[in-house]
Structure 1
Amino acid sequence: MTTSTWYVLAIIIYLFVMLAIGYWSYKQTSQYDDYVLGGRGLNPFVAALSAGASDMSGWLLMGLPGALFLTGFSELWMAIGLTVGAWFNWKLVAPRLRAYSEVANNSITVPSFFENRVHDHSRVLRIVAALVIIFFFTFYVSSGMVSGGRYFESTFQGDYLTGMLIVAAVTVAYTFIGGFLAVSYTDAVQGMLMFAALIIVPVMAIIALDNPADIFSFAAENPYATGGAIENPQYFSLFSGVSAAVIIGNLAWGLGYFGQPHIIVRFMALRSPADAATGRRVGIGWMALSILGAVFVALAGTVFFTNTDHSITDQENYETIFLDMAQIMFHPLVAGLVLTAVLAAIMSTMSSQLLVVSSSLIEDLFTIVKKDKPSDAVMMNLSRTAVVAVAVLAAVLAINPNDSILGLVSFAWAGFGAAFGPLVLFSLFWKRLNAPGAIAGMITGAVVTIVWGMTSLGDLIYEIVPGFAAAAIVTWVVSLATAAPRPETTAEFDAAQELIAKANRDKNFQFEGAAD
């Protein structure tokens, strides 16, 4: 068989596995809460891998190795910021959000938690939060579809539109039928595939080198690693060629974790707050080793592609070194399975975002205008319809891709981080938070991020820094300047903190019954 045929076979195997998981999840899903949040019974191992896979996307396998290969270790600041931010997210947010979201009227979406946390009877907070999610994630999903189309173009030299539609159709299919469980378990499988690929490819590349130790010295003398321009003696320096503002901006990516709906919803789905400790160890271990694998892909590439006759397909950003190394070293079937790791990264992010958007459309907007809540069966069907509707809109935007859509990935990360991040932290740690402060802070974070990112100010520092700071200050000031929360709101806060403490002391504590 030809190489392309082997690749196609590998992709078909992978896609059928994803659909099979979707069907299994469908059989486990009988209630609306199951479809949206998995019945709050998510295993911490699955939660950790699914959160990591839905977060990292193709940046981990293509963007980071390419940037490190081209520029050097100064590109690691973003990875450092993300790892630190993820650790604090699991440590500070996960156990408290798991407890509080159930205590606060069994909130199953991020906007509903915000509303129930401060007892906002105006519904303004919930509506604005849902609109922020729908706006950013529609374009975010579209960028994933664009990536899927580009993946098929570069891997199979196929048609962009055909590849985009195949990726979109399979992702929508398993999200449509299986809901939260399908998204979580497929993400976990995709996370394991990404992890395996990032370990296997650099290890095999290093073994193939005549002198593996060259990876620690060759890059500093390698003009090819700097785009054929000049030698880079500062390759291994974290500080070479980057300003303090760039370092701060890249580290600030870690702040975004506190406000990413598709990540923190995994915390709400854990079996109990105590599971957050296991999730943290698994998630951060997966993340650190995966980033280390990406680093060694770049290091091995600096020798692999300069001491052999092999070349890199992407001669501008060098983002194909992972794909090129896999294709060169492995049998086409094995290479095809390794290449599916990129597809897995794309699909895991898309599916998580699709489900969050559909939940916001139905749970956070439809139920507000519908006085009598429909049955579970009707709500699940409405959510499935919303998944398809959002996917169709995102596909329309992706038919003619442009840089503005792809650029919204970092823009949306900053938007969610600034709009939701401070509010999540205040909700979980500050009893004095009230509805006016929450609403004002969230709007401020979103507006500052948008304005900063769309003007020349974005060239000074990443927009999440001013957006997060402004939202935090406004939330604090407005909350103090307006009426204190009602006694029932503060009593609920105390009850949630007490349950968290009990769950942390006793791993066998029956949290669900105590939260009722």
Structure 2
Amino acid sequence: MDHQLLYILLALYLGVTVFLGYLGFRHTKSAKDYMIAGGNVHPVLMALAYGATFISTSAIVGFGGVAGVYGMSLLWLTACNIVVGIFVAFVFYGIKTRQIAHALQVKTFPEFLGARFDSPFIRKFSAAVISLTMPLYAAAVMIGGARYMEEALNISYTSAVTVFALIVFVYVFFGGLRGVIYTDAMQAIIMFSGMVILVILTYSMLGGVTAAHAKLEAIKHLVPASLAAKGHQGWTAMPAFGSELWWFVISTLILGVGIGVLAQPQLAVRFMTVGSSKDIYKGLSVGSLFILCIPGVAYTVGALSNVYFFEHTGNIALAATAAGGSAPNVDKIIPLFITQAMPEWLKYLFLFTLFSAGMSTLSGQFHIISTSISYDLNPKGGRSDKRTLLLARLGTLFGFVITTLLAFQLPLGVIAVATALFFGMCTSAFLPMYTAALYWPKITPQGAIWSMVTASVVYLLVVLFVHEREAAIFGVCSKIFGVSTLAVAPWTYIDPLVITLPVSSLVLVVASLLTQPVQQAAVVK
């Protein structure tokens, strides 16, 4: 397949994307259309949009690359994604969220929390947290797509980021959530097709399922000594129980991302887009199949890439990314494997798969950033639908600029770390009070506020001064105290969520019980 045909296919793909964005624009006449797509989306479209927004280039490129380093232990994350991210999210969170959101007539996640507790502060604080931290996750998604474009099209990283970002920005800016959901559904189908073909060709190339896994087990002696010392036991086994790598896989990847999905604002708002609770049940099977395929394939192929690189270069996957004297980069394992191991036609099909994965997630992220800034932080600013739409589109521009700048500034191999950071912050700050808002009548506004604020502050402090991986990236602890972290093992590698989620939950319960409204005694006449 030559580049001329690639450009024709790319033009066709972008043409359909623009057309669907235009349909969204044509049907976006009110704030309700822009925020929740009118509240009457088909359940299959909702499920596809949910899955496409949930699973991004961060999962395929970033976490797929992590699987190339740590192995198939990441498949436990896929299981957690299905059980928690789909079944629990849809049945126990989605239905109640849709019912309460429709009763309160709210359009965004911060507005949902604020209205549920009758607290403007909760609405604004949660919107601020989303606006300030979502660009970090969005940048991780953008980096994933750009890294593959860089390899597949042989263009500069700067050009790849610029093209990727501009395409997403245009159709979110005009189409609102209707445009996002229309394109998400199309992109989900492309993602599913691309990943199914990828796993079939990978196993075929390595001699079949049994042979491929046997080969992967046979090269466990190639695990670098530095990783083996931290608990790595080969690419077909879990890290040693209680080791540094075990804590990373369990607490940061499986717990942080697997449970963190429940408190993702860009996903919670999807439940508000359907017309009834029955529609959420109808989307369960579609969402489960989608999650089983996309991350499941990415993590499997990431681990198996070690076999391919060993057979063709004598190196494991991470070492192969350092060819030519460059620094090893976990984010380049999947792009390098696709471009070197797969046939030319799949290389371009996978390009559209990653386009779809990245654009579907980025569109949802930019949409949440825009509504948080224009609608939730400034609830009195949109006195008319026309003004609300204008402010929302300006918010999209803000999110686009910050995300793009971060994509250029973040260090190598940061995709999985940045994703886990955002999931961890949202889980700590929102999940306890979000859960209690749905199921615990005794929660009070004061309890929700203290839980949210305490969790946000504690999570930030642990990230900057305790957890070594992130503390080293931000460098605040080093600049102030001259050391990378103030803690000692094992706290330096146990994910911040393990500390902050219990703290947030405890504060919520204690503060709510201490601030229960005083019951007025009946007056006896």
TM-score, normalising length: structure 1: 0.84
> How far has the Cα of 1:350 moved from its partner?
1.3
2:99 and 2:251 mapped to 1: Cα distance?
33
Q: Which residue of structure 1 aligns with residue 91 of structure 2?
A: 91
Residues 174-185 of structure 1: matches in 2 within 5 Å? 174-185=171-182
Q: Which residue of structure 1 aligns with residue 494 of structure 2?
A: 461
Residues 386-413 of structure 1: CA deviation (Å, up to 9, x unaligned): 2123212333343444369854332111
> How far has the Cα of 1:134 moved from its partner?
0.8
8 Å Cα contact 2:263-2:434 kept in structure 1: yes
Kindly indicate whether residue 403 of structure 2 is the aligned counterpart of residue 394 of structure 1.
yes
CA 1:485/1:14 → structure 2, altered by over 3 Å: closer, same or farther? farther
Choose which of 289, 294, 303 in structure 2 pairs with 1:285: 289
Q: Which residue of structure 1 aligns with residue 477 of structure 2?
A: none
2:208 and 2:76 mapped to 1: Cα distance?
29
Unmatched 5+ stretches in structure 1: 488-516
Q: Which amino acid aligns with 2:424?
A: A
Kindly indicate whether residue 161 of structure 2 is the aligned counterpart of residue 164 of structure 1.
yes
Residues 59-208 of structure 1: matches in 2 within 5 Å? 59-86=58-85, 87-104=87-104, 106-120=105-119, 123-208=120-205
Residues 57-66 or 262-271, more deviating: 57-66
Choose which of 365, 379, 388 in structure 2 pairs with 1:367: 379
Unmatched 5+ stretches in structure 2: 323-327, 469-491, 521-525
> How far has the Cα of 1:324 moved from its partner?
4.5
Residues 152-200 of structure 1: CA deviation (Å, up to 9, x unaligned): 3222221222221211111011101110011122222222222222210
8 Å Cα contact 2:173-2:393 kept in structure 1: yes
Choose which of 361, 368, 382 in structure 2 pairs with 1:356: 368
CA 1:81/1:452 → structure 2, altered by over 3 Å: closer, same or farther? farther
Residues 484-495 of structure 1: matches in 2 within 5 Å? 484=517
1:102 and 1:184 mapped to 2: Cα distance?
19
Kindly indicate whether residue 350 of structure 2 is the aligned counterpart of residue 338 of structure 1.
yes
Q: Which residue of structure 2 aligns with residue 237 of structure 1?
A: 237
Q: Which residue of structure 1 aligns with residue 387 of structure 2?
A: 378
8 Å Cα contact 2:20-2:179 kept in structure 1: yes
8 Å Cα contact 2:442-2:513 kept in structure 1: yes
Residues 469-478 or 393-402, more deviating: 393-402
8 Å Cα contact 2:57-2:358 kept in structure 1: yes
> How far has the Cα of 1:304 moved from its partner?
3.9
Q: Which residue of structure 1 aligns with residue 211 of structure 2?
A: 214
CA 1:353/1:339 → structure 2, altered by over 3 Å: closer, same or farther? same
Kindly indicate whether residue 424 of structure 2 is the aligned counterpart of residue 420 of structure 1.
no
Q: Which residue of structure 2 aligns with residue 498 of structure 1?
A: none
Residues 397-406 or 444-453, more deviating: 397-406
Residues 15-24 or 77-86, more deviating: 77-86
Residues 210-219 or 22-31, more deviating: 210-219
1:366 is paired with a residue of what secondary structure?
coil
1:306 and 1:6 mapped to 2: Cα distance?
32
Percent pairwise identity: 24
Q: Which residue of structure 2 aligns with residue 510 of structure 1?
A: none
1:367 is paired with a residue of what secondary structure?
coil
8 Å Cα contact 1:326-1:339 kept in structure 2: no
> How far has the Cα of 1:26 moved from its partner?
1.2
Q: Which amino acid aligns with 1:67?
A: V
Residues 484-516 of structure 1: CA deviation (Å, up to 9, x unaligned): 3999xxxxxxxxxxxxxxxxxxxxxxxxxxxxx
Q: Which amino acid aligns with 1:35?
A: Y
Q: Which amino acid aligns with 2:504?
A: A
8 Å Cα contact 2:206-2:308 kept in structure 1: yes
Q: Which amino acid aligns with 2:125?
A: V
Q: Which residue of structure 1 aligns with residue 473 of structure 2?
A: none
Q: Which residue of structure 2 aligns with residue 501 of structure 1?
A: none
Q: Which residue of structure 2 aligns with residue 252 of structure 1?
A: 255
Q: Which residue of structure 2 aligns with residue 443 of structure 1?
A: 453
2:378 is paired with a residue of what secondary structure?
helix
Choose which of 272, 276, 285 in structure 2 pairs with 1:272: 276
2:371 and 2:91 mapped to 1: Cα distance?
26
Residues 8-45 of structure 1: CA deviation (Å, up to 9, x unaligned): 44433322222121011112222110011101112222
8 Å Cα contact 1:174-1:182 kept in structure 2: yes
CA 1:210/1:128 → structure 2, altered by over 3 Å: closer, same or farther? closer
> How far has the Cα of 1:364 moved from its partner?
0.9
8 Å Cα contact 2:271-2:280 kept in structure 1: yes
2:356 and 2:199 mapped to 1: Cα distance?
19
> How far has the Cα of 1:223 moved from its partner?
5.3
CA 1:201/1:483 → structure 2, altered by over 3 Å: closer, same or farther? same
Residues 318-327 or 433-442, more deviating: 318-327
Residues 15-24 or 155-164, more deviating: 155-164
Aligned residues: 480
2:129 and 2:387 mapped to 1: Cα distance?
25
Residues 58-82 of structure 1: CA deviation (Å, up to 9, x unaligned): 2332233333333323333433433
Q: Which residue of structure 2 aligns with residue 294 of structure 1?
A: 298
8 Å Cα contact 2:73-2:237 kept in structure 1: yes
Q: Which amino acid aligns with 1:55?
A: F
Residues 295-334 of structure 1: CA deviation (Å, up to 9, x unaligned): 4424653444444579866254565554445445666444
8 Å Cα contact 1:57-1:348 kept in structure 2: yes
8 Å Cα contact 2:192-2:294 kept in structure 1: yes
8 Å Cα contact 2:75-2:296 kept in structure 1: no
CA 1:149/1:327 → structure 2, altered by over 3 Å: closer, same or farther? closer
1:432 is paired with a residue of what secondary structure?
coil
Q: Which amino acid aligns with 1:335?
A: K
Q: Which residue of structure 1 aligns with residue 511 of structure 2?
A: 478
Q: Which amino acid aligns with 1:277?
A: Y
Residues 43-54 of structure 1: matches in 2 within 5 Å? 43-54=42-53
1:408 and 1:28 mapped to 2: Cα distance?
35
Choose which of 431, 434, 452 in structure 1 pairs with 2:441: 431
1:274 is paired with a residue of what secondary structure?
helix
Q: Which residue of structure 2 aligns with residue 493 of structure 1?
A: none
CA 1:242/1:59 → structure 2, altered by over 3 Å: closer, same or farther? farther
Q: Which amino acid aligns with 1:383?
A: A
> How far has the Cα of 1:269 moved from its partner?
1.4
1:167 and 1:391 mapped to 2: Cα distance?
11
What do you get for the CA RMSD once the two structures are aligned? 3.0
2:494 is paired with a residue of what secondary structure?
coil
> How far has the Cα of 1:57 moved from its partner?
1.6
CA 1:64/1:477 → structure 2, altered by over 3 Å: closer, same or farther? same
Q: Which amino acid aligns with 1:93?
A: Y
CA 1:353/1:221 → structure 2, altered by over 3 Å: closer, same or farther? same
Q: Which residue of structure 2 aligns with residue 500 of structure 1?
A: none
1:333 and 1:36 mapped to 2: Cα distance?
38
2:50 and 2:209 mapped to 1: Cα distance?
34
2:82 and 2:460 mapped to 1: Cα distance?
25
